[in-house]
Every structure is written in structure tokens, then in C-alpha cells.
């Protein structure tokens, strides 16, 4: 059993790490304060080919696999988790599903522009009454000749204020409870508009807004998969997405651990560095150990996905464990920094705010435990 990364993966890791250190980390706090879509970061990711990870070269992509995406997301998140969030919404939740489920015509139409960063992607399923329970979705799609007419409002959509292509889910009423269907809605579609933009606690450079569909006319050619196949598409894309969120949490935890260890080595109290006290050093040792365990679980899940094996339960485990670790680590980081840790000019406050979202989106911790426990008792 070989746990080492391939030369290609090592090269990707080094390249993204250097980019994140040089370009993302210096501006992360400023972007967080502005709470504006990180357009420059998005363009740089496009120029590096990161928007095309996992997409074959014939569609303009960079190739690579699920592990490649996880490695890149971890490195980005260590510097600026919001930038990794933008990538996740654009690539994992929009471009990758088009590649997996789209027709050849759809792939040729959408993927090259998404990969180049000429168009920004998003995924829209969440509604006011359909959060964890997506089966309660109220958005409808009615066939009208060569088009569908979509009606409904999607909320909290990442990249929602800037997106050009939205993978939106709606119910075809005639199919009853099996009516969920996926559509590629373009921003210039009649009846489509962007709604409320949100003031978020964390991940503030990855902006969120509502997607409003009022008699929105979408060509039948933009339907992704068959009618009634939307739930299958959603479950698969969200399983892949959870690997990305787990990797995001790994990057946040790494950043916290590095900054906290450095602070503990230099901060002196009672005549000695606080790192010399077991009350500090042992707790950081626990975080370090759990970080290594979380990475193994995340990378194993990516390996399962890359090798065509079932990975839904492992994806839930990886997301649950890595994201709750990030939250514990951020709380400990604030505690170690003491009073300074609670100040808004402390590095810990952004990590704390960013880490919390990883426990919520793409399936809450409670939903992950439901998935894991169901696999025990099936």
C-alpha cells in the first residue's frame, strides 16, 4: 500500500502552494473585509488551469482527477478559504456535473468557457423550505414546446451575484415525487434575475445571492440528463463536493495550526514560552494528529472516487470529521492567542468564521451523521 503522492500530484501541490502563498494570502484579509467576489483570484485560477481540474483537455480542461482537486483546494484554503469556495461552486458543483452528465453538445457549449473563466458557474438547489430536505423543493419546470418554464427562488447561492451559468434544480409536476430535474440556466435567459445578496459571517470573498426564476424560459437542450434524474445528479455532485469541503477544512486547520504553533513558541508567560506548557502543547498535538487522520480519510475518499468505487459514506465521514476538526482548531487557536485572538485584527477570527460554514454547507454535520448511521443499519 503506497501512500505517497505521484510526481504529478506533488508538482500540482507545490505549484498551488506557491501561488497561494504569493498571491492569495497577502490579500485574503482585505477581500474578507470588502465582501466582494474575488474576481482577480478567479482570473488567476483560470490562468493556472485550476478551473479545469478533472475536465479533459478536449474541452479545454487540465485533466487530473478527484485527488488533484482535493490537493488544490487544501492549498488554496490554507491561504484564502473563500477563494477555494469560489472554485468549489464553479468547478465541483457546475462544470464537473456538466462533464459527467451532459450531452456532447452541452459539453462543447459550456465547458470551454467555464474552464477559461470566461463564464462563472454556480449550482442552485437550496430554497427557503428546502435546505437539508431537498425533496421539499418548490421550484417547478413546465414543458412548453422546445422550452421549459421555470418558476421559483433559490437562496444562499455561492457565486450567485456574478454567475453566468447556473445548474438549477426544479420539479416537473407530472412526475410527482420523482420529478426533480436539472437545468443549465444562462444569465441572459428571459425571466431570470439575481436577487438578494447576503451579508455573511465568513467566506466573505465568495459572495452569495438568490436566484429568481419568474416564468424563466430555458431551452430543452439545456436540460441536464433526463426528466426525473435530478436527484441522482444532485446526490452524485454533492458527494464529490463533500470531498472538496473536507479538503477546504484541511487547509483551514493547517493554517490555524501553523499560526498557533508559531505564536505559542514566541509568546512568553510566567518566564517561558507558552508552548512549554502541556496545557497548550498537548492540545495542539491532538489537532496535529487529527489533521493527519482527516487528510488520510479525505484522500482515501478521493481515491475511491477516482477508482470507480462507492464513496458516499466515506465522503460523509471525511466532511464530518475534517470540518468539525477545523471548528475545534479555530476555537483552540483563539484560546491560545488569548485576548488578541478575540480581536478583529487577529488572524484567528477569519479562520473561526470561515471554519463554521464548512460544517453547514453541502450537507450539515447532522446530515452526514444520518448518512453514516444509515450505512451501519441498512
Residues annotated as part of the active site = 362
Q: Which residues contact 214 (CB under 8 A, 6 or more apart)?
A: 151, 191, 193
What's the CA gap between 184 and 95, in Å, rounded?
10
Whole-angstrom distance, CA of residue 351 vs CA of residue 23: 18
Give, in order, the Cα–Cα distances in Å from 292 to each of 37, 76, 286, 299: 32, 18, 10, 11
Q: How far apart are CA 140 and CA 86, in angstroms?
A: 27
Longest Cα pair distance anywhere in the chain, in angstroms?
A: 79
- What are the beta bridge partners of residue 74? none
State how far the Cα of 4 lies from the Cα of 9, in Å rounded to an integer. Answer: 10
> Comparing C-alpha atoms, which of 19, 69, 63 is closest to residue 44?
19
Cα separation, 242 vs 240, in Å, equals 5
Decide: helix, strand or coil at residue 7. helix
| Residue 345: all three cell numbers together | 485584527
Q: How far apart are CA 322 and CA 232, in angstroms?
A: 25
Surface-to-core class of residue 53, CB atoms within 10 Å of its CB (0-12 exposed, 13-18 middle, 19+ buried): buried
Q: How far apart are CA 21 and CA 323, in angstroms?
A: 22
Interatomic CA distance for residues 326 and 111, integer angstroms: 33
Contacts of 39 (CB under 8 A, 6+ apart): 162
**Which of 121, 351, 138, 95 minimizes the C-alpha distance to 240?**
95
Amino acid at each position: 500500500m503506497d501512500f505517497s503522492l505521484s510526481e504529478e500530484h506533488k508538482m500540482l501541490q507545490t505549484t498551488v502552494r506557491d501561488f497561494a502563498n504569493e498571491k492569495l494570502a497577502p490579500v485574503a484579509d482585505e477581500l474578507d473585509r470588502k465582501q466582494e467576489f474575488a474576481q482577480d483570484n478567479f482570473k488567476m485560477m483560470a490562468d493556472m488551469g485550476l478551473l479545469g481540474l478533472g475536465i479533459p483537455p478536449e474541452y479545454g480542461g487540465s485533466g487530473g482527477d478527484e485527488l488533484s482537486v482535493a490537493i488544490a483546494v487544501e492549498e488554496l484554503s490554507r491561504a484564502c478559504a473563500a477563494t477555494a469556495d469560489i472554485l468549489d461552486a464553479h468547478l465541483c458543483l457546475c462544470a464537473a456535473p456538466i462533464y459527467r452528465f451532459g450531452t456532447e453538445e452541452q459539453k462543447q457549449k459550456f465547458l470551454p468557457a467555464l474552464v477559461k473563466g470566461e463564464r462563472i458557474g454556480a449550482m442552485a438547489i437550496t430554497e427557503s423550505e428546502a435546505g437539508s430536505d431537498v425533496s421539499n423543493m418548490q421550484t417547478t419546470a413546465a414543458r412548453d414546446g422546445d422550452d421549459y418554464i421555470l418558476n421559483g427562488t433559490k437562496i444562499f447561492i455561492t457565486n450567485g451575484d456574478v454567475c453566468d451559468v447556473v445548474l438549477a434544480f426544479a420539479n416537473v409536476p407530472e412526475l410527482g415525487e420523482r420529478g426533480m430535474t436539472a437545468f443549465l440556466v444562462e444569465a441572459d435567459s428571459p425571466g431570470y434575475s439575481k436577487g438578494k445578496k447576503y451579508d455573511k459571517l465568513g467566506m466573505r470573498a465568495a459572495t452569495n445571492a438568490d436566484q429568481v426564476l419568474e416564468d424563466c424560459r430555458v431551452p430543452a437542450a439545456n436540460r441536464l440528463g433526463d426528466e426525473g434524474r435530478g436527484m441522482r445528479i444532485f446526490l452524485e455532485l454533492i458527494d464529490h463536493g463533500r470531498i472538496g469541503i473536507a479538503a477546504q477544512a484541511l487547509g483551514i486547520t493547517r493554517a490555524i495550526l501553523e499560526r498557533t504553533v508559531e505564536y505559542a513558541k514566541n509568546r512568553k508567560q510566567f518566564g517561558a514560552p507558552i508552548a512549554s506548557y502541556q496545557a497548550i502543547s498537548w492540545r495542539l498535538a491532538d489537532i496535529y494528529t487529527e489533521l493527519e487522520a482527516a487528510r488520510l480519510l479525505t484522500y482515501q475518499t478521493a481515491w475511491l472516487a477516482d477508482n470507480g468505487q462507492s464513496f458516499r459514506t466515506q465522503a460523509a465521514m471525511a466532511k464530518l470529521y475534517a470540518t468539525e476538526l477545523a471548528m475545534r482548531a479555530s476555537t483552540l487557536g483563539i484560546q491560545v492567542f488569548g485576548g488578541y485572538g478575540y480581536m478583529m485584527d487577529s488572524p484567528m477570527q477569519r479562520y473561526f468564521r470561515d471554519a463554521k460554514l464548512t460544517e453547514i454547507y453541502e450537507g450539515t454535520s447532522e446530515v452526514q451523521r444520518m448518512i453514516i448511521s444509515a450505512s451501519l443499519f441498512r
